[in-house]
A and B are shown apart, each in its own frame.
Chain A
Amino acid sequence: ELKVEQNPLFLSMQEGKNYTIYCNYSTTSDRLYWYRQDPGKSLESLFVLLSNGAVKQEGRLMASLDTKARLSTLHITAAVHDLSATYFCAVAGYALNFGKGTSLLVTP
């Protein structure tokens, strides 16, 4: 069974700071996805990582994938309040398997 673990599960950070969210998974996969969810809303696709060493950047967010270590990271640079949300990583098996999500709160 494919297990996906994210940490931290809760993150409170000040505006302007940097931080990294980690996503580990248990079995081989070369496809990993990051999603954002705002309270009461559905999931919005952020990044699709399809190969070892893949790196994608959008604004203050950068995601990377190391398939050998079964690890993906989501790095936040100079956080702003608008980034407050829950971030999920998901790993491809016969369907997407999701982590528990990281609830991010960016404070002034």
Chain B
Amino acid sequence: EADIYQTPRYLVIGTGKKITLECSQTMGHDKMYWYQQDPGMELHLIHYSYGVNSTEKGDLSSESTVSRIRTEHFPLTLESARPSHTSQYLCASELDTPNTGELFFGEGSRLTVL
């Protein structure tokens, strides 16, 4: 079973606030990802990282930013939250066995911006 943790699980904040969603994994995986998922909808890749000091934007345009200073930690930050940011954010890391590419997901952070 994968050990990947997200905090907070639920967050309700007002417009304009700065927030950081935390994601940590204890497996030493190099590759990590952030996906955004609206209720009942597909997942959209917003950021990914192939290792320390590596970050890239995904397919879905996002006003969030990420950092990867340590292998185990991949936080996502919104400088000024808006109601359009209301969604579930899922963090994942990739199993490093030869070329399987299997992702393991955290429990998710459900964000509501009022």
Complex CA–CA separation, A42 to B105 (angstroms): 7
**B74 at the A interface (CB under 8 A):** no
Q: Which residue of B lies closest to A96 (CB)?
A: B103
**B107 at the A interface (CB under 8 A):** yes
Count of A-B contacts with CB under 8 A?
A: 55
Task: Give per-residue flags for B83-114: 1 if the beta carbon is below 8 A from chain A beta carbons, else 0.
Answer: 00000001010000001111111111000000
A65 CB, nearest partner CB in chain B, Å: 13
B54 CB, nearest partner CB in chain A, Å: 12
A-side interface residues, number (CB < 8 Å): 23
A38 CB, nearest partner CB in chain B, Å: 11
Task: Give per-residue flags for B41-82: 1 if the beta carbon is below 8 A from chain A beta carbons, else 0.
Answer: 111010010000000001100000000000000000000000
Chain A residues positioned under 8 Å from B106 (CB to CB)? 42
| A95–B48 touching, CB < 8 Å | yes
Say which size band chain B's interface belongs to: 20 to 34
B19 CB, nearest partner CB in chain A, Å: 19
| B33–A98 touching, CB < 8 Å | no
Q: Is the interface of A mostly helix, strand, loop or mixed?
A: strand
**A33 at the B interface (CB under 8 A):** yes
Ranked nearest first, the 6 interchain pairs of A and B with the lowest CB-CB distance are A98-B43, A100-B42, A43-B105, A42-B105, A92-B101, A42-B107
| B90–A96 touching, CB < 8 Å | no
B94 CB, nearest partner CB in chain A, Å: 9
Contact of B102 among A48, A86, A94, A101 (CB under 8 A): A48
Contact of A88 among B43, B58, B92 (CB under 8 A): B43
